[in-house]
Structure 1
């Protein structure tokens, strides 16, 4: 199947061709016709599947070919995302594929000044990409009207619920017209997602691409048993001895991320941290430098890493195993994309043995283990308790967290299948 088979207009096809794509990914091949039909949609799609273009392309098609009254533009599409990074990438997708349609869009999120966002909205928009917190703030000041919304997209709905956005989402839904098209995208069809869908969607079409708990066969997974005090030296050893140039490292906490960056810098390994306590400018710079190859290691917490979307990222390291087994799948899914191979390494100490068993049970496979010479774990080590409250739960206790952000670095891809590089839970 080709993009030319999906009923997209010439201006949109021209933009797709300029990005080097000819064939849609499976999620795009299914979701584009579904959205064009005008009905509600419930789709499960993981990172790396091309999901973002799966809804931006048909939305651009619908808006550019429908009749609108002359005069000031009316806001007709609202796309809600949980984080600043994802919001920025969705907006880039809208701009990239809509550049010949004449449609206008902008993105709003917290952590930066509101005045430029207010001016962009006041100038007239067709599409608004937003995180819930900043949108509600501007709605409360009457800077945003949702009275003419025709299409609502909830992107990464599972993460929005994890981050405690349900109350905000309900407030936003109450301000929307009753008659509209609803598109809900999630990594999983959890009980919470099904409950949200039941109250939001009207006879939705269901699309599911790949099992939500499966891992990409293009990713080589490996466990390195190690004592908790030797994790940092082992990570530095792996990076230097293997000459790794680009490594995304996951830690369980913000403090752990900061501490690890300090240690790696002392080892001569360029690194920066990205997490919720970092300023918007710091997060944007860290992500841009990492994508540009100026950093060897980007150290991230789970929530901050949502939206990190890098073509051909070779290595992901779980410095700490995640408390939630499903997050392991999300983490390592950031490598092994677009036909390239990836390596996912986990440094596992005695404290994390139960977490490892939970992960292996979820993905239904036993992960290979390799002890690195000089870093053999103490066989008599005793496990210490780990704070088992997930970072999502920590986030949900906060009053309305703003999203997270940073515009992705643009690059021209080789010709391949599906505009997947700009989506995040694509």
Structure 2
């Protein structure tokens, strides 16, 4: 095991991070540079390939033309779906004017390739209460070049008539490519506000690629603000994930592909994670190439950032403050991680009640052995390797 800890001399943030990067093994350094470059470029590349709404004369269909009422009482599922299905093969835009549209989440609105779902800022699509363990307000399955923009998506957790299950989704994206969700408010889902993942298994599995979630608010959902399964190249930018509670894990974002398949190249930037009953961000087995940058991770009941058996992770320039457990926890085989330029303070408010009572320094507030970080702010297990710290403020 190789752990590189300490704070190199700094002539400013750039010099400090360059010094820290030089300490990493050459192969790891090349990986970090490649990941950082790709993650910086992909939002720009995506903006050039995503559909441009009504550009190029594509068809536009208003859901009211298909009979949608938007009165908060009528089941508008079929009317909205008719508008989606009426788009020509080359695609177009479905407009959802201001109004309150009730939909049957046991059927779901099924988006298709080459389309934009454009919701007025005063448009709400809300799930009709059901008893199902699994349901979806909006599904993007096996579809390419899709945009969902604006409006509100509301789940049915407040009126749910069953008791089991945890899979009631607001927006579910699987086996799809070049998808963007922007400016949408998602709340009150029985399960996750957003899910991004794959369909199929083994050689038949199709993972989602090039997904952008931007300026989205996901709040008061029961299981997660957002879950990420097997996928490649996901950008989560300028979003808020808050007040998740109801059934575990209850985190802001959970990267949880586990045995389903690999998750690669994830950028989480300028996001806010607050008041979630679980962690702000948690990352599990089969995930690599993740950057968490310039985020505010504050007042979550669990860890600020939790990584278990993760590789190639960069936690950079975040405010990690007032979380119930330690600000950053890296455990069980996590490797090749950079922790740079973060402010990490006032964490571990409930650590005295945590099961890891064997780490006495956490209860006493003593500094962790040898590296100058308070044990109440960061946990790095002995099973980890290739961890570098620089320019953090405790």
Say whether the fold is shared (TM-score over 0.5): no
More helix by share: 1
Q: Normalization by structure 2: what TM-score? A: 0.26
More strand by share: 2
Higher relative contact order (CA 8 A, sep 6+): 1
Q: Normalization by structure 1: what TM-score? A: 0.25
